[in-house]
Amino acid sequence: MRTILLGAPGAGKGSVAKLLTEFDGSVQISTGDILRAAVQEGTKLGKKAKEYMERGDLVPDSIIMEIIEVRLQEPDCKNGFILDGFPRTIAQAQELKQIIDRLNIRLDLVVNLEAPLDVLLERLETRRTCSNPSCQEIYNIKRNPPADGGKCKKCDSPVIQRADETKEAICNRLETYNSKTAPLIDFYQKEGLLKNILSLTLPETIAAIKKELNSLNKH
Ligand code: ADP
Ligand code: ZN
């Protein structure tokens, strides 16, 4: 399956994407994870992206498109992919359309994960992330805490709060989402690909998405 996950920060894109890859062998492509890894490793890309990310601003489209164009051509994308956190602007969505055409593939579904603002805020404030760039497992201090000593259950690295998880950056990310990313809901509605799914508990959300994917398979 070739899927896009849309949704505000805290809507659950990362957690949902990780579980969906186990379902059908698609790879998760998270531009946020790719950028955070680059920042931690101090690469050229990371140096360009760092300041935008810490403020909660979007990284320029040109940088993002370069990452995506290369990533979508890697062999593991043959079984399908789940785009998590991309596209985030109309310009990115338009360029993605061209890349997809050039690669001679098509998108199956765009899932818009919905949750009320108070739920988003609470999730963002209680979220913690594994600091190992190649892991980035997601935790929640209330509902899904890391192992003793704040260590990742998967790789034993320290679990930390992201640099953009301050109150100020969170507010800015939500505003950026509303002005730049929310218009994509309409864009994909017009393309006939959009499905709105309520994202309150993870098991229910996954079940609803699987149902959608199964009904696509039957057509
Ligand atoms: P969240 O969805 O929780 O805000 P992400 O991990 O998707 O977090 O993104 C973190 C940051 O990385 C964003 O605030 C932005 O600075 C940058 N980023 C990630 N994906 C994109 C993208 N497609 N376009 C522009 N910036 C991006
Ligand atoms: Zn880890």
* pLDDT tens per residue, range 197-213: 999 999 999 999 999 99
**Residues 2, 127, 128, 195: which is the catalytic one?**
127
88 is catalytic: yes
pLDDT surpasses 80 at 218: no
Q: Which H or E run contains 58?
A: none
Query: Quick check: CB of 46 below 6 Å from ligand 1?
Result: no
Phi, psi of 158, deg, nearest 5: -60, 140
* pLDDT > 70 in the chain, percent: 100
Q: Which ligand is nearest to the CA of 175?
A: 1
Instruction: Note whether 137 and 153 are within 8 A (CB).
Output: yes
**Residues 13, 36, 123, 128: which is the catalytic one?**
13
pLDDT surpasses 90 at 217: no
13 is catalytic: yes
Query: Quick check: CB of 35 below 6 Å from ligand 1?
Result: yes
Q: Distances from the Cα of 181 to the Cαs of 18, 88, 188, in angstroms? A: 21, 5, 12
Alpha-carbon distance of 27 to 204, in angstroms, equals 21
Query: Quick check: CB of 72 below 6 Å from ligand 1?
Result: no
**Residues 2, 50, 128, 162: which is the catalytic one?**
162
Alpha-carbon distance of 162 to 33, in angstroms, equals 11
Alpha-carbon distance of 108 to 192, in angstroms, equals 10
- For 124, the token pair is 């963002």
DSSP 3-state of 161: coil
Please give the distance, rounded to the nearest whole angstrom, from the Cα atom of residue 126 to the centre of ligand 2. 17
Question: Which fold does the domain 2-26+79-218 belong to in CATH?
Answer: Rossmann fold (3.40.50)
The number of the ligand 1 atom at minimal distance from the alpha carbon of 11 is 2
Q: Distances from the Cα of 55 to the Cαs of 12, 164, 183, in angstroms? A: 21, 7, 22
pTM (2 d.p.): 0.92
pLDDT in tens, 92-119: 999 999 999 999 999 999 999 999 999 9
Mutate which of 16, 33, 59 for ligand 1 pocket (most atoms within 8 A of beta carbon): 59
Instruction: Note whether 181 and 13 are within 8 A (CB).
Output: no
